[in-house]
Structure 1
């Protein structure tokens, strides 16, 4: 569904865009300037999300560096957890 775990980045960005649309109405100054600023912010969302998602994932796995390959390890673990119907929290408690 729309809010499934793997859809969280895109639905979060969509929700932020809807919020920005609402805020344009009350933003000070020219609405077009506000739209430009919101668009600029939203365009950086994906890269920021990926970075902070990886930081959080690495912390859960006890990894201290930030390497591109690390996200594959975490995503593979999530896939195994889903296929095995493992509890998200309990899995990471056991790994700790």
Structure 2
């Protein structure tokens, strides 16, 4: 299983990974104030995405393969309306687990 974690300490390095990560299965992003999508958002094997204490730029992720989505303490400015959140969930056809803290 290929995993990758971006935290506040490594925030600046996320732009160093502009190309796709076709085998990445687990991505954890935590405690970053401005999120730059690593791997150009091209993560076709991504199964688990955990976002903690960071903004969520939904439109930049290709999330169709997700089975687990964990959202912890998403900043208010990144929270979606109920309608937008449900529309996003409807595109996650493989999602089996959702944890929204």
Could you tell me the TM-score, scaled by structure 2's length?
0.18
More strand by percentage:
2
Computing the radius of gyration over CA atoms, which structure comes out larger, 1 or 2? Answer: 1
Could you tell me the TM-score, scaled by structure 1's length?
0.19
More helix by percentage:
1
